[in-house]
Structure 1
Amino acid sequence: MPAAYALILDDHPLVARGVAEFLRSRLPGLDVVTVPDAPGLWQALADRQSAPDIALIDFWLADGAALDLIAQLRAQCPHTPLVVVSGDDDPGIAARVQAAGAQGFVHKQEPPETFARAVEALLGGMTWFLATPGAHAAARNRDLPVTPVELGLSTRQGEILALVLQGLPNKRIALQYNLSESTVKEHMSAILQRLGARTRVEAITRLRGKRLVLPSADAD
């Protein structure tokens, strides 16, 4: 009988690694496979020759939304619980991924414990669509405002962090600010060091209760 395993698709290695480590800590008997893109996902399925026990997919990938990929994976692995994660506050995303075949949706600003409960629910045959982007927006209005300077970051690093909090990968951040991916990676390393975090997941968790406020002036 094939070994139980989870399949994580996220095109940012730090996020994928953080989620994988968290899953391993909560479900030590579950092997975890991470892939950065759709070709990697199909290759992993071919290599394993079995469907994963659970699949986790980032909604926004380098080439756009993952709706078609979700539907394709559902068709190929009809019995695999599928949870989608996103930092996007669009209230329609949860409904759209559910229509595409996902059994769960978790907002990236949820605490790790909520993510763990969602995974356990899906593994138990249930669904998880409790994320309410409107509630996230309201909660941020009550969060403590904090500027990049107060976090020890430059203006550019603050802008990059703001996009990280929205769940954007390095490629999309680089395109938005007309930077190279290597430059974005350097900024990310500095941001993680300043926040005392090893991964993006940890950085997001450390900023719970804070609302990042960017200066109105353009960065130099």
Structure 2
Amino acid sequence: MTPSDTVSAPFPERYALVVDDHPLVARGMSEFLRLHPGLEDAVCVSTTQDALRTVAARGAPALALVDFWLADGVTTHFIRDLLALAPQTRVLMVSGDSHPALRAKAQGSGAHGFVHKQQEPAVFAAAATALLRGGTWFEAAPAAAGDTAAPPARAVPITPAELGLTPRQGQILALVLEGQPNKHIAGRLNLSEHTVKEHVTAILGKLGVRNRVEAITRLRGVQLEPGDEARLR
């Protein structure tokens, strides 16, 4: 089977595929999903390659529950591969991190839902039901103690395009996040200081913040990546 092939709808029973590299979590989720009235079985695997092999051998799962972080990397590209192979599968991304960028990454990957692992079982059940009925379920970050959310344990990779920025604005934002003033940014990128100032104003507007400090706070825990755009340096 090549990546361009697709698999047909579910193997005899409607099954769920749990992709998580923590055995206890994966087993718990699979046992929980076996009790869901819309499913008849659940299979757990720990890697994206095992997940794709399972789908190729067994057919398209009705639901795939995928952890954002796996030992073989962030799963956004895997979700695109999974949906190319099994376009009828509904994908629910889960994570123990609470950074708001994760929800955007889930949506951008093509997942149909996102739930935090801290949620009650009833929330997982409701999300699974919504997806199995053709709907979506995207949660906001859960409220943290106090006014400031704790940063994720690992930096969340995000590209300028996912923030609505151009490649050049992404370069400037990366330097803003380092605390560089406009004059230094202009020198680094061989731009006029006026041009940098205009870009910074546009960046702040797209991020929905008023100043550099708010931008740094908003993107705390985010790792800005070049993305697939042409690099300008």
What TM-score does the superposition give when structure 1 sets the normalisation length? 0.59
Query: Displacement of 1:71 after TM fit?
Result: 1.1
What is the alpha-carbon distance in structure 2 between the residues aligned to residue 82 and residue 35 of structure 1? 15
Are the counterparts in 1 of residues 65 and 93 from structure 2 also a CA contact under 8 Å? yes
What is the alpha-carbon distance in structure 1 between the residues aligned to residue 146 and residue 120 of structure 2? 18
Unaligned runs of 5+ in 2: 1-10, 155-233
Q: Write out the 4+ residue segments of structure 1 that deviate beyond 2 Å after TM superposition.
A: 25-29
Query: Displacement of 1:36 after TM fit?
Result: 0.7
Aligned equivalent of 2:140: 132
Distance 1:21 1:91, change over 3 A: same
What TM-score does the superposition give when structure 2 sets the normalisation length? 0.56
Query: Displacement of 1:56 after TM fit?
Result: 0.6
SS at match of 1:51: coil
Aligned equivalent of 1:146: none
Matched, 1:2 2:9: no
Query: Displacement of 1:75 after TM fit?
Result: 1.4
2:134 partner letter: G
Identity %: 46
Matched, 1:66 2:75: yes
Unaligned runs of 5+ in 1: 143-164, 168-220
For the pair shown, the structure with the greater C-alpha radius of gyration is 2
How many aligned positions are there? 140
What is the alpha-carbon distance in structure 2 between the residues aligned to residue 58 and residue 117 of structure 1? 18
What is the alpha-carbon distance in structure 2 between the residues aligned to residue 95 and residue 29 of structure 1? 28
What CA RMSD, in Å, does the superposition of the two structures yield over aligned residues?
2.1
Give CA-to-partner distance per residue, 1:1-39, whole Å, 9 cap, x none.
Answer: 722111110011100000011112233851111111012
Give CA-to-partner distance per residue, 1:69-119, whole Å, 9 cap, x none.
Answer: 011111111111100000111111111111111000001111110011000
Matched, 1:109 2:88: no
SS at match of 2:35: helix
1:57 partner letter: V
Query: Displacement of 1:68 after TM fit?
Result: 0.7
* Counterpart among 75, 84, 105 of residue 75 in structure 1: 84
Are the counterparts in 1 of residues 106 and 114 from structure 2 also a CA contact under 8 Å? yes
What is the alpha-carbon distance in structure 2 between the residues aligned to residue 87 and residue 125 of structure 1? 25
